[in-house]
Structure 1
Amino acid sequence: MAFDGRLLSGVSVLTAVVEGGSFVQAAEILGLSASGVSRAVARLEARMGVRLLDRTTRSMQLSDEGRRFYEQVGPMLANIEEAATLASGAASAVRGRLRVDIDPFFAQLLLTERMASFLARYPELSLELVTREHVGDLIADGIDVAIRFGEPWRSSAIARKLLATRVLTVASPGYLRRYGRPKHPSELSRHTCILFRDPATGRPFAWEFHKGRKILPVTTPVRLVLSDVGSMLSACVAGVGVAQVLALSAQPLLDRRQLVELFPEWRDETFPLYALYPSRHQPAAKVRAFIDFALEAVR
């Protein structure tokens, strides 16, 4: 297939459709009509001899061939954009739309109150925060960077660790007055425990206790399972039971004595926070800027 500018133009339109989620949204991004966008995609499909989008009256999504094609050309278009920025002498310019897939509790805990200053710092940037239960395909979903707790699953994304926060076992003073304070993790089998569901597996996280190199697994009775960190902390403060929480989220409650750490000698387990972005030689300036912003927040 001989290369010409119309092919690159068609790929750019297809990318706008995927990232925008519709022909109408792509038209607004590109300054075209929706019918013009549709014709450009149809010309690209005719030139390639393959259907890239499956369309119905109510929905539109990439076909299997279209997804494979988009996953290949997406990083290339990003590299072209980055090369153009470098050639223009504005490599540090932070502009355009930035889509971030972010852990909802991290956003609420550390980022929301700082968002105004971040946007003021980069007036040419528009920010879209997306919260999902787990990270999908960053390129296919049009995500520039994801901020997530836990070790990343195998993928082509580049992972950068932002922090590792301790895992603490806590209960409220009221719960301890009613049921007594366990002196050793093995005594938790006689207590009500609040478990957190792992979004990657759909099962509750197993409880472990770390002291140096020693690891002690503990089987806890399943009385309450939650998938929202805020709800888990609220239930624990209300005296429902014992919970394992991240120090990053629980420290204010510990400082106010609304929660009590139970086993300070078994607190060597940590849980990481990562920034994930699509594989490429250099992340875009807007991605670097947001990662730096997240690092400022956690510090």
Structure 2
Amino acid sequence: MFGFVVHGSHLMQFARAVGDFDPVFEDVGRLAATGPDALVAPPTFLMAADHFDPAYARRPRPGTSWLGSRPRDSAQQSGFHMEQHFTFRRPVRAGDVLTAASRPGATWEKSGRRAGTMTFGETLTDYRDFDGELVATARWVSAMVERKPDAPSPAAAADRSSSRPAPVVEHGSAAQDLTVGSAWTVVLVEDLTRAQIVMYAGASGDFHPLHSDDVYARDRGHPGVFAHGMLTMGMTGRAVTDRFGHASVRSFGGRIVSQVWPGDTLTARVEITAVRASDDGGTVADIALTTTNQQGVPVFSGAAEVLVD
């Protein structure tokens, strides 16, 4: 358990890192404001609580061996961040002082041809405000694999996807239409830079060397550094908040499907799958999200629930 302070300037840094250029994140007056009308955080911002976790392993700490400097252990099991989900009781806002408390969730196993037995596990983290009221719950799903599958290079992934159709961009007023089945696309990033990956590491607190150290990444079987899965998810969240606003998001989650590399261009497809009445008398839209790269390869698949009135 640890405390977590939501600063307006941190929201600005995080928004820039995930490509959220809403002008409110550049408004100094809004960044400094607190209270019930204060600036709302991007939907994946709670990942940045890692900055406040005194035992967080993906940050260099004095007196502790940095994982990027340790020799490779061929006997060590490989682990992957597979899914991330957020459920909000209310928006996270600048000025919030939250307490994060984690607990184990479910565990299960699956077998696959490439990785052998995969052992999945959940970590649930509750974020409560100063009064002890629940603000949000995050669910992290990881997998430990029996054997590490070969990491495809960006070129190999492109070759395998050559028969895939290019992403379809729907035009017109679909983004304004809340009927079930309406859909639109949002270009999230063109030619992803290493600088943006570094920006995300700094904003989120996730300094894992797979995302910053080419030597380390190549030694682990990758062609080089690649983007955090949560950077991909964070950018995908913009496809929701650009249309519905940050305060409308009640839940957002999904599965990290494939790696994203420097130079990739990502496009999110957004589809309304249901419109229904909420328990408090409002209207809620259920949204399906799929993010693909320039080859049409899916890299993230998720869903969101937003309050539309």
Q: Smaller-chain TM-score range?
A: under 0.3
Calculate the TM-score normalised by the size of structure 1: 0.23
1 or 2, which has the higher strand percentage? 2
User: Which structure shows the higher helix fraction?
Assistant: 1
Give 1 or 2 for the bigger CA radius of gyration: 1
TM-score w.r.t. length of structure 2: 0.22
